[in-house]
Amino acid sequence: MTEEILTVKDLKKYFLTSRGTVRAVDGISFSIKEAETLGLVGESGSGKSTVAYTIMGMYRPTAGEICFRGQDISREARKRSKALKKQIQIVFQDPGSSLNPRRSIKQILELPLKVHGLSKDRSGTQQVERLLEMVELPLDYMYKYTEAIGGGEKQMVAIARALATDPSFVVLDEPTSALDVSVQAKIINLLLQLQRELHLTYLFITHDLSLMRNVSTRVAIMYLGKICEVASAAEFFQNPIHPYTRMLLSSIPVVSEEEEAFKPKKVLSRGEIPSPVNVPPGCSFHLRCSVKKDICSTDDPVMVEIGEGHTVRCHSSP
């Protein structure tokens, strides 16, 4: 049986604001097995990036546990050991803002090597060359600055920087959403190739469900700080259960009648996501749900397993 590399239990992250308490992440649980990809999907404001930053230690959890290889790392936050930071890396959404424009690409890639004491030669040139080769960039790019290269190339540099410490777990926070469509496929193929070659585990965060069929091993859907449904990628597309999941899937654009036939029956998108400061009582989705029951407006449903590896948080689930 494949070992679980990351386990999240009842994770909560609240923020105090002048308007009240924002429950950005409100009691979610999931696990990721070694060498698999968990796709965490949701609309803007669902809390998926907050999950990423809390796992990375950029935010301290309000409650709950984050266990990496069986070790509880949720309370360490910014005091995490170098050994742990070396194993867990992140690729941010916008490479233009996550890379220092005043440093050459060589300096950007050298920095994690120096911080973690991984430099094997005084200049670091050989290791930088190896990293550039891994992401399929020309070696002379090490002397360029980020302003001189395109968005896709910047993201390749960001991926190379994440790989510099030889991590085992990488958080991908919408790594293609800031890129042109023509570049997105190249980045996705590169990430999948690196995963196979380096035995990497990914948490892939996105709002784009169309990516998940070919990228993810399993898919988790978030809505207003909570997870609605978790299933294998194949099961997720063949047998979506939660009304929100069905709504998202039915809205995916397709180019052929054959693809349209695979989508669930059209579910109209009703209303907007409520404010996380004023989450409605009961099921947080009930104000937009077409199959809601009376209980949905008073009782928050719990996760129920309806099949092997397929869990749903809905009063109307089978």
Calpha distance 248→99 (Å, rounded): 33
pLDDT at 249: 85
pLDDT at 255: 45
Query: For the residues 186-207, what does the mean pLDDT come to?
Result: 95
4-241 belongs to which homologous superfamily? Answer: P-loop containing nucleotide triphosphate hydrolases (3.40.50.300)
DSSP assigned state of 279:
P
Domain extents for the chain?
4-241
Low-confidence winner among 149-153, 276-280, 281-285 (lowest mean pLDDT):
276-280
Q: Which residues, in sequence order, are CB contacts of 78 under 8 Å at separation 6+?
A: 57, 58, 60
Helix (H, G, I), strand (E, B) or coil at 304: strand
Lookup: tokens for 250: 């039915």
Q: Which residue has the higher pLDDT, 63 or 212?
A: 63
Would you say residue 262 has pLDDT above 60? no
pLDDT category at 94 given cuts 50, 70, 90 is confident
pLDDT at 133: 96
pLDDT at 209: 84
Helix (H, G, I), strand (E, B) or coil at 226: strand
Mean pLDDT of the chain: 89
Would you say residue 257 has pLDDT above 60? no
Helix (H, G, I), strand (E, B) or coil at 109: helix
Would you say residue 265 has pLDDT above 70? no
Calpha distance 283→135 (Å, rounded): 44
Residue 97: half-sphere exposure toward Cβ, Cα within 13 Å: 5
Q: pLDDT tens across 28-59, in order?
A: 999 999 999 999 998 888 999 999 999 999 99
Q: pLDDT tens across 100-149, in order?
A: 999 999 999 999 999 898 877 666 689 999 999 999 999 999 999 999 99
Share of residues in the chain with pLDDT > 90 (%): 65
Would you say residue 167 has pLDDT above 60? yes
Phi and psi at 206, nearest 5°, equal -160, 165
